[in-house]
Amino acid sequence: MEGLPAGYRPNVGICLINDDNMVFVASRLNVPGAWQMPQGGIEEGEDPRAAATRELREETGIASAEIIAEVPNWLTYDFPPPVKAKVNRLWGGEWHGQAQKWFLMRFLNDEREINLDNGEADAEFSEWKWANPEEVIEQAVDYKRPTYVEVMQTFEPYLKDNSIPAKCLSTKW
């Protein structure tokens, strides 16, 4: 993948917004109190846009969403040592952290579609909520916070109160 930094696991992040431009976050099962936006690994040969759509569906049950925008470059974060040891055992690699391609997506359905334990993948989250960008940043784990700040700054024109609803920049997935 073009521009992917060496030593970082390729990953996508999804900033999913509703009609009120609030951001979807979920609390991790394995780290109580740690809220995050959906994210996940890019499979070998998979396009990042397709990975974002797949990861959103696997983690949240949401298939009714459209890509509005994306962060043009890869954003990276390093794993703290205990996390690094755990994920490298789990993934069978030697990753410093993750390089993420971030997508802004709009949720197109009602909340009944959201299902954190939909059976497509092992459940990762215990609960979910809609949050404003400041809450998203405040409630993120420390090592992801700088990435979340950059994501929110990039997507800020779409997240403003009373902003004009974003138009889709791509075909519906």
Q: Please report, for the chain, the start and end positions of each structural domain, with discontinuous segments joined by +.
A: 8-159
Residue-wise pLDDT for 106-155, tens only, equals 999 999 999 998 767 788 899 999 999 999 999 999 999 999 999 999 99
CATH no. for 8-159: 3.90.79.10
Q: In whole angstroms, what is the distance from residue 62 CA to residue 56 CA?
A: 6
CA-CA-CA-CA torsion sign (147, 18, 117, 70)? negative
Residue 57 CB contacts under 8 Å (≥ 6 apart), including other chains: 63, 118, 120
Q: In whole angstroms, what is the distance from residue 7 CA to residue 166 CA?
A: 35
The residue that leads in pLDDT, 171 or 77, is 77
Residue 150, φ and ψ in degrees, nearest 5: -65, -40
Residue-wise pLDDT for 68-89, tens only, equals 999 999 999 999 988 888 888 8
Give pTM, 2 decimals.
0.88
